[in-house]
Amino acid sequence: MSEATSVLLFFGLPGSGKGTLSALCTQHLSYEQLSTGNLCREHIAKRSEIGKQIDFAIQSGKLVDDSLITSMVLEWFTQNIAQKRVILDGFPRTAIQAQGLDEFVKKAQNLKPLLVQLTIAEDVVVDRLGARRTCSNRSCQAVYSLAEGSGLMPLVAGQCDTCSSALITRRDDETAAIKERLKLYRAHEQALLDFYAGAGYPKLQLEANRPIEQVFEDLKQHLVKI
Ligand code: ADP
């Protein structure tokens, strides 16, 4: 039988470091990442039909419709099924989405999901999201932080290290939208964890209120053991 595909499901509060950890995994461990947030923002920038439908939900911190987001992810997955290492960052976010993914995993047979849960206190992520800046170039979307000691400051103020585009504050990183996103995360968290427990997915919990290199080191240690 062919080698199984490792599918990391990154799960945690907005601002817990899922995107930054994904970037480290793609750079150093050859993972292919799908960020549903980035995918949605690309659609909005392109003004595609999907982009027009989801624009308001995203800006105000609400969730995109379950069936729409699930079909976007499964389409990406079908195109990338040959990859041996995959990260889903920001999906599933609801038990309905998890169910859609689970049906796909069961059909595909050789997918090996691992739930990677980043745990962190809410007040810490509120500060982090307020200090977050994102590259305005939609095909880059690199993430920085203006917080002292974050290790994620841009080299030149206001400018992306990778593509030199201007850095912006995402609309959904403004206070009202942050509150909405945290509320929605909490509303779906337990049902999602219950679903995973019922489906028997293995789970790795990582304390996320640490420098991201340490979080990455713990993840790497775990991945070599499985
Ligand atoms: P964060 O994890 O920091 O909240 P993301 O970039 O992952 O930010 O997501 C931004 C927004 O994209 C979400 O607030 C939501 O509107 C939309 N989105 C992303 N993933 C999903 C999903 N799985 N289901 C519904 N909406 C989603």
16, 38, 99, 172: which to mutate for ligand 1, most atoms within 8 A of CB? 172
| Atom 12 of ligand 1, nearest CA residue | 37
Assess contact for 150 and 118: CB atoms under 8 A: no
**Cis amide leading into 211 (omega within 30):** no
Ligand 1: which residues within 6 Å by Cβ? Answer: 14-15, 35-37, 40, 57-58, 61-64, 69, 90-91, 93, 97, 172, 181
Contacts of 165 (CB under 8 A, 6+ apart): 135, 136, 137, 140, 159
Distance 63 CA to ligand 1 centre (A): 6
CATH class of this structure's domain 5-120+205-225:
alpha beta
Instruction: Give me the tens of pLDDT residue by residue for the chain, a chain 226 residues long.
Output: 468 999 999 999 999 999 999 999 999 999 999 999 999 999 999 999 999 999 999 999 999 999 999 999 999 999 988 899 999 999 999 999 999 999 999 999 899 999 999 999 999 999 999 999 999 999 999 999 999 888 899 999 999 999 999 999 999 999 999 999 999 999 999 999 999 999 999 999 999 999 999 999 999 999 998 8
- How high is the pLDDT of residue 125? 95
What residues does each domain of the chain span? 5-120+205-225
Residue 222 is given by DSSP the state H
